Amino acid sequence: MRTTGWLAARIAAVRPTTSHARVLTLDVPGWPGNDPGQHLDIRLTAEDGYQAERSYSIASSGPGERVELAVDTVPDGEVSPYLVDVAEVGDMLEVKGPLGAYFVWHESDPDPVQLVAGGSGIVPLLAMARAHDRSESPVPFRLLYSVRSPDDALYRDEILDLAGRSLDLTWAYTRAAPEGWPEPVGRLTPDRVAAATWPPARHPLTFICGPTRFVEAAADAMVAAGHDPARVRTERFGG
Amino acid sequence: MAQFTRGFGSRRRDADPDLPPGQYLTTDFPVLSAGPTPRIPLSEWSFSIRTETGETARWSWDEFTALPSEEVSTDIHCVTRWSKLGTSWRGVALDTLFEEVETSFDYVMAHSYGGYTTNVPLEDLLDGKAWIAYEFDGEPLDPEHGGPARLLVPHLYFWKSAKWVRGLVMQQHDDPGFWEQNGYHLRGDPWLEERYW
């Protein structure tokens, strides 16, 4: 699947997934399909010709010309507030992709998979968990998802649904947990990461995605727990 | 012909002539890399350049930081579209290092602690265009940003400025490195938007 030029995309559906994030479904004629974990570039063009471009992870995968994104508002951002608060069904933008061949899960991979998500870092990891759920792959998938509070989890209902079938799920709450939650609230510690992820002996392939500080801490914790750094793949949001 | 996007543009930033096309300004310092951050003790650090004859010039940390260094003030541009203007570094110019190296090969593969690689034409590293940088803003370079030392090739997208660099290997052809094998452009000029192949 080679990168082509910019493709026109029409917003086919929008729905909120948290109070500050929403899921956008795009119709992209000519989209070549994508692997789980890949991203695309979005280009917005104002009427006077001014343009802004950003990269977003793709929540969907496989063949077809429908592409799903989930966008979290970056305070003081330029593109995400437009996509979360202004864009409506029928609006047009442009996309380029799919991009990235490294932060990708392949159905044929024989090893267990450990997903570690912080906030909206869930998006490319959800694409992998969905692809795994649809696939015949027998490998176990495990997700450690760190969010500020239950209401801040993108795709919460769908993740709970996957957890009932094909996903071993651990929530970590950094600010507020559900009532009676047995775990401490706060940033992930190396011990909590080690307890909620596959041990090195299982030889998992680990994908970590989220804000820089989160990814640094989680990746360091995996290495400290004895995982081969070459088996720990990361995708960091800037800033 | 670009597709107009209804309702977009009201939050626009001022255009800056120092920004390559498709880039936006950031004032913090985003961290991007493909895996965990390696942490290399200075006592174990070395930097080398290997040529086609197998000859290898090698510097320990003490030898390296005793070389003449330069202060570099420059703009940097990440392929993920952030640009940071007026960053301050200290490092050793590749011109200085290549004074000790005889090669007829035109291409370089940079190798990093942690296994990262990136390919760069030699002419993009010489004539005051590139450094091995070990300070940022007057402080030792933070491991997250590639410390103890990273390649600094500011006129190319920043994935070429290999973090945790440990050596350069001369090569006859412009064979692709890590990101280049994973979809990024072989050279990466931000002003030409050489982002992807």
Query: Quick one: tokens of A198?
Result: 């596959």
Q: What is the C-alpha separation between A22 and A35, in angstroms, rounded? A: 22
Q: What is the C-alpha separation between B11 and B24, in angstroms, rounded? A: 13
Q: Where are the beta strands (DSSP E) in chain A?
A: 7-18, 21-27, 39-45, 51-57, 66-72, 92-99, 113-118, 141-147, 167-173, 205-211, 232-237
Q: What is the C-alpha separation between B176 and B183, in angstroms, rounded? A: 10
- List, for residues A96-115, the tens digit of each pLDDT value: 999 988 999 999 999 999 99
Q: What is the C-alpha separation between B1 and A200, in angstroms, rounded? A: 51
Band (B17; pLDDT cuts 50, 70, 90): confident
N-to-C CA span, chain A? 30
Within 13 A of B178's CA, how many CA atoms are on the CB side?
19
CB A152, CB A18: distance < 8 Å: yes
Of B24, B27, B33, which is closest to residue B142 (Cα–Cα)? B33
Query: Quick one: tokens of B98?
Result: 């290549």
What distance separates the 2 farthest-apart alpha carbons in chain B? 61
Query: Quick one: tokens of B120?
Result: 């760069």
CB A215, CB A208: distance < 8 Å: yes
**What pLDDT score does A239 carry?**
36
Q: What is the C-alpha separation between A72 and A160, in angstroms, rounded? A: 20
- List, for residues A46-87, the tens digit of each pLDDT value: 988 889 999 999 999 999 999 999 999 988 888 999 999 999
pTM for the model: 0.91
With beta carbons under 8 A apart, name residues in chain B contacting A6: 2
What are the C-alpha distances in Å from B12 to residues A23, A49, A93, A229? Answer: 23, 11, 16, 40
What are the C-alpha distances in Å from A28 to residues A12, A128, B139? Answer: 10, 21, 47
What is the DSSP secondary-structure string of B40-63? --TTT-EEEEE-TTS-EEEEEHHH
- List, for residues A185-213, the tens digit of each pLDDT value: 999 999 999 999 999 999 999 999 999 89
CB atoms within 10 A of CB A199: 12
Q: What is the C-alpha separation between B43 and B59, in angstroms, rounded? A: 12
Share of chain B above pLDDT 90, in %: 81
What's the gap in Å between the CA of B31 and the closest CA on chain A?
6
Q: Is the pLDDT of residue B29 over 90?
A: no
A93-115: b (≥16 Cβ within 10 Å) or e: bbbbbbbbeebbbeeeeeebbbb
- List, for residues B120-129, the tens digit of each pLDDT value: 999 999 999 9
Mean pLDDT, chain A, integer = 94
**What pLDDT score does B12 carry?**
58
What distance separates the 2 farthest-apart alpha carbons in chain A? 57
Interface test with chain B among A39, A73, A79, by most B beta carbons within 10 Å: A79
Q: Is the pLDDT of residue A3 over 60?
A: no
Of B77, B69, B84, which is closest to residue B140 (Cα–Cα)? B69
CB B182, CB B163: distance < 8 Å: no
Of A100, A127, A99, A102, which is closest to residue A115 (Cα–Cα)? A127
Q: Is the pLDDT of residue A164 over 80?
A: yes
What's the gap in Å between the CA of A187 and the closest CA on chain B?
18
Q: Is the pLDDT of residue B14 over 70?
A: no
Are A233 and B34 within 8 A, CB to CB? yes
DSSP code of residue A84? I
Nearest by CB to A229, from B24, B26, B114: name it. B114
Average pLDDT over residues A136-162: 97
Beta strands B24-25 and B82-93 are parallel
Q: What is the C-alpha separation between B188 and B21, in angstroms, rounded? A: 13
**What pLDDT score does B11 carry?**
55
Nearest by CB to B5, from A45, A100, A234: name it. A45
- List, for residues B42-94, the tens digit of each pLDDT value: 999 999 999 999 999 999 999 999 999 999 999 999 998 899 999 999 999 99
B16 touches chain A (CB under 8 A): no
Are A220 and B11 within 8 A, CB to CB? no
DSSP code of residue A141? E
Residue count of chain B: 197
Q: What is the C-alpha separation between A233 and B3, in angstroms, rounded? A: 35
What's the gap in Å between the CA of A31 and the closest CA on chain B?
16
Strand partners, B120: B108
With beta carbons under 8 A apart, name residues in chain B contacting A35: none
